Amino acid sequence: MFKKVLIANRGEIALRVLRACKELGIPTVAVHSTADNTAMHVRLADESVCIGPPPSRDSYLNIPSIVAACEISGADAVHPGYGFLSENARFADILDAHNITFIGPTAEHIRIMGDKIEAKRTAMRLGIPVVPGSPGAVTNDDEALRIADEIGFPVLVKASAGGGGRGMKVARSREDLSVALSTARTEAGAAFGDDAVYIEKYLEKPRHIEVQVFGDGKGNAIHLGERDCSLQRRHQKVWEEANSPALTEEQRASIGGICADAIAKLGYRGAGTIEFLYENGEFFFIEMNTRLQVEHPVTEAITGLDLVHEQIRVAAGQGLSITQSEIVFSGHAIECRINAEDPKTFAPSPGTITHYHTPGGLGVRVDSGVYQGYAIPPFYDSLIGKLIVHGRNRAECMMRLRRALDEIVVDGVKTTLPLFRDLVDNPDIGTGDYDIHWLENYLAAGGAG
């Protein structure tokens, strides 16, 4: 096992990883920017190293500083959390060259999945169903038109290097297509320095359903069921559930089995998430994330498994602690992402938390890095915590969520809590009847008012 783990992240996920290390008896090193001197992850870690000024590119994305922090502290492994350097293949390579273990997949697998065209090709090769579209990048308008005619309009032009929904344009007709291609190319070139684009069938009313997988890097793999993350605003997930209210047990076992087989064939190591759009009973691969996800706690709630423990075990070469047949899915879980944002305009609301009370009781978990008196710095994303609720079934879970939302207090800054208090009483959410456009439409119509 590792002697010391450096956590190359901040906020709630740094705490999350720290807790797992504590349980496993592994000393931890926190890294932080000068804006995070008083952050909880710094207070709770065994050691901490300041790695630079507030902007992420000078601190949490500063690879030489992080490697130096490993050398100074004697850390022999790095957990990257999510975001920042978690899907940076170069970082994984550099750690490798310094004999420091990257707690994640190989740099090669990160690279393959980081390129959307390559990822889609790999998924097809491994037997995962994909959205119909161009076999690779489209290089000219005629080729694009031919493919679009073949798969039928509407189509979506997507950037191969895409992320965060950028470089994506819908074309509803032949007339739209050349504009969509050139805008997507320009946007992708500017945002990612790579203007390769490809074409996919545009699905009108899909759900976002993703499968949690784990591989041991030696050809063994498991799946931990799915999460439904259809409630999104600007392609950012807001509310996540496990299981999906839309799937039957047979569908779950079937898509989970396909994903686990693919991961085993790939020889993948660590945690991964295979994301699908789901429409009319069919799954269509969109991308694979080669890291721990923000919403992993809903999977932990229904499986009782600690995903960070598993990541650490696998990275240390100890293999998975569980086999597929030992996994039992129990009950239902929902996560609400609490952001320090105006609940109507979603403008960030940094500032000092004057009152803070977290809900408790059976089936309630709060993962957060904040505390009363904490000043949220303006430099990073606005996620301040996650409320995760578990019940024996969806109805019990919703009942418990309503109660927990009633109890939680975060004063001094604006938060998205009022949105969740509305959503929990909405009839469509109550029946689980929503797709990836539902939340945007709801907000455009003025929400609950």
Adjacent-strand bridge partners of 336: 239, 387
- Nearest-approach distance from CB 205 to ligand ADP, in angstroms: 9
Name residues whose C-beta falls within 8 Å of residue 167's C-beta, 6 or more positions apart in sequence. Answer: 158, 159, 161, 184, 187, 188, 191, 192, 197
Beta carbon nearer to ligand ADP, 67 or 203: 203
Q: Closest residue (Cβ) to ligand ADP? A: 203
DSSP H helical segments within 128-247, as ranges?
141-151, 174-192
Distance from C-alpha of 374 to C-alpha of 82, rounded to nearest angstrom: 22
Upstream peptide bond of 418 is cis (omega within 30 degrees of 0):
no
Upstream peptide bond of 88 is cis (omega within 30 degrees of 0):
no
Cα 22 to chain center, whole Å?
23
- Nearest-approach distance from CB 17 to ligand ADP, in angstroms: 23
Beta carbon nearer to ligand ADP, 230 or 368: 230
Amino acid letter, 431: T
Residues that bind ligand ADP (CB under 6 A): 131, 156, 162-165, 200-203, 206, 208, 235, 275, 277, 286-287, 436
- Nearest-approach distance from CB 262 to ligand ADP, in angstroms: 18
- Nearest-approach distance from CB 154 to ligand ADP, in angstroms: 8
Beta carbon nearer to ligand ADP, 85 or 410: 85
Kindly list the distances between the CA atom of residue 285 and the CA atoms of 94, 121, 181, 255, 386, in Å, as whole numbers in the listed order.
30, 11, 22, 11, 27
Name residues whose C-beta falls within 8 Å of residue 296's C-beta, 6 or more positions apart in sequence. Answer: 212, 271, 307
DSSP string, 80-148: --SSTTTT-HHHHHHHHHTT-EESSS-HHHHHHHHSHHHHHHHHHHTT--B-SB-SS---SHHHHHHHH
Dihedral sign of CA atoms 273, 274, 279, 280 in order: negative
Burial group, residue 406, by CB count within 10 angstroms (0-12, 13-18, 19+): exposed
Beta carbon nearer to ligand ADP, 218 or 235: 235
- Nearest-approach distance from CB 105 to ligand ADP, in angstroms: 17
Active-site pick, 252, 269, 291, 337: 291
- Nearest-approach distance from CB 131 to ligand ADP, in angstroms: 5
Beta carbon nearer to ligand ADP, 36 or 200: 200
Beta carbon nearer to ligand ADP, 95 or 156: 156
Beta carbon nearer to ligand ADP, 274 or 320: 274
Distance from C-alpha of 47 to C-alpha of 29, rounded to nearest angstrom: 5
- Nearest-approach distance from CB 137 to ligand ADP, in angstroms: 15
Dihedral sign of CA atoms 288, 290, 293, 297 in order: positive
392 is catalytic: no
Catalytic residues: 291
